Structure 1
């Protein structure tokens, strides 16, 4: 006998969270803002339909962006102009181990699941100790938290190799922090990326001074 819960799976947005992806299935996913889980806005086996939806949904949202991916060999891939797999996507359907959702914070320990700029989730633990003389000391530990890779200490993102711990100089101002956080997604990990400001304008790289308008730069080099 069907239940109300069974009928929920007739809704595409609900089914997307539970039904496994199929080989060469197109997915329009939310690429910004990033979340701990993959946000799928549309699933389709028709490239033109998925591409049209991606364009429309990006035009309809000012504070969010969406990208077209294809499921191939159990991974998400970017798509070329003919709808074929092009390169491994930085965004994936990450599965976080259940233990990282259990409460573990105390008065002396702060912990949470964080999201790298490429969408990769990792777990941070900040322990604060107070000595007998009243001096404070802190220790930050970052570790992997995926189902198939967890509890491994890291300082760089295993997905895009971005530094997760940035040591700030005493003279570093807010503009410097903005530069660190403004790396275009298409440039993450690229050897050509420059990312320095000159006269208030950022020089992204020597090939594309203002950056590549899209996610898949043809001059990406690693």
Structure 2
């Protein structure tokens, strides 16, 4: 038996969110805060309507910002003042592998999908290993979690080259400030 949810896809506003993007289509996307999936607010083939919608969204939101992109050559591009592709966007429609999304939402794991400043999602997990001096060390390990390249160990973002290394916060608790002050006095 059909339910009300089954008929929602007759509503173009809802259905178009699940359609693939088309060449030359303008997308108004949420550019801040960034999520691990692309947040598309509006889609149109009319540059002026898309630009106007983007400006209205930015006026209406205090803690969220939106940007206009065009879908060209299977990527998102920034547009120039005429609505033509200008430069490739740092923010793309990343596809995270399902097992990493499941681990991200699991409550019993020290791991999560983290979003780089450029919007690239990666998987960060707490790992332990033994140092050369036989001491246990806890650190954050960064892995790619995209469908195409999942599981590769990374230190810098493949998209913007930013450092992804996170220092364990507990190491700060062991820092001896007295030793540092004595060293500085010498």
TM-score (norm 1): 0.66
Higher gyration radius (CA): 2
Gaps of 5+ in 2: 173-186
Q: State the distance in 1 between where 2:91 and 2:10 align.
A: 26
1:97 counterpart = 2:100: no
Q: State the distance in 2 between where 1:56 and 1:27 align.
A: 14
Instruction: Kindly report which structure 2 residues correspond to 1:80-95, keeping only aligned pairs within 5 A, or say none.
Output: 80-95=80-95
Instruction: Kindly report which structure 2 residues correspond to 1:98-137, keeping only aligned pairs within 5 A, or say none.
Output: 98-103=98-103, 110-128=110-128, 136-137=136-137
Distance 1:106 1:130, change over 3 A: farther
Contact 1:16 1:40 in 2 (8 A): no
Output the aligned Cα RMSD.
2.8
Equivalent residues, number: 165
Q: State the distance in 2 between where 1:31 and 1:12 align.
A: 24
Q: State the distance in 2 between where 1:23 and 1:148 align.
A: 22
Structure with larger RCO (C-alpha < 8 A, sep 6+) = 2
1:156 counterpart = 2:160: no
Aligned residue in 1 for 2:181:
none
TM-score (norm 2): 0.78
Give the superposition deviation at 1:167.
5.9
Instruction: Kindly report which structure 2 residues correspond to 1:193-204, keeping only aligned pairs within 5 A, or say none.
Output: none
Aligned residue in 2 for 1:33:
33
Give the superposition deviation at 1:5.
3.7
Give the superposition deviation at 1:10.
3.8
Give the superposition deviation at 1:9.
2.3
Kindly provide the CA deviation profile for residues 49-72 of structure 1, in whole angstroms up to 9, marking residues without a partner as x. 000111111011110000000000
Gaps of 5+ in 1: 171-222
